[in-house]
Structure 1
Amino acid sequence: MHGVTFMYDDSPLTLLVEDALYAAKHDRCGTAVDILRDAFPYLTEPDSYRVCKAMAEAGTVATVRAHGGVKPDPAAGELWAPGGHTDDPLLLWSIWFLVAHANADSTMTRTLFAVMWERGRSEVLAAACTLLGAVASISLIADEVVAQ
């Protein structure tokens, strides 16, 4: 829709993620948060999970782009691993959710999401906004790497 470099599927939820990611990547973070904040009160648990999965897919695509198209081979025992350190629990959740998705570990993504869902919709929204910020950052890095 806006030149975002992924397509999880053609559902309205994916379009919502594309719009939010486009806004975040173009220095309109308030708009990106508004897009999620306006949608999340109406989303069911499965739809909220799908939104997070679509964001994680965009992050996975961007991570692969940032690594020159190289990605781990799970058949060879290779997996993505989180790096760095943060004391921010929402950022930590976002990183682990993204890594679990990138490794096609649906058990872990479902477990991580379930923990956040149990904490309430406001926590899910906060986690989704943090995930969006992480994905936008990775996507911008990937854009720079590809442009070099």
Structure 2
Amino acid sequence: MALAAPQFQARRDTAAVRTAAGRPGSLGAGPRLPRLATVLTGCGMALLPWMAVLARTMPRTAEVSNWSAAWIGLDAALAAGLAGTGLLLRKGDPRVAPVAAATAALLAMDAWFDVTTSMGTGGQGLALLLAAGAELPLAVACAVVAARRTA
């Protein structure tokens, strides 16, 4: 069945999920899934006091030695995510949903860091314009693709 067209492979995978759990849409993972959910929720909650510590102890300014590498790496990930989302969407490939979701998150993160790191500088206006006019609308578009392709 590995040589079958992707749409037939997807149908077979869906049938396997249905038989493993007895109902469609279930992962059939048994007790592991609730434990993972508890761990993830706990980790998220543990970050709340850590954020308070960071808010009190982080310096207001910092010099970063690899600043350009960080931003170029983020832009490379965005380029790959946007191009990948577009190509998979054009093909009607079901793998578009996770790629689009990850790209939406990266775009929102990029907008956040562009705006917050430009505060009080001459580039703040451009950062706000790019966030409102490009990054956030693209993030919403990718989130819609991800939501519609997983339903």
Normalising by structure 1, we get a TM-score of: 0.27
Q: Return the index of the structure with the highest Cα Rg.
A: 2
Q: Which has the higher contact order (CA 8 A, sep 6+)?
A: 1
Normalising by structure 2, we get a TM-score of: 0.27
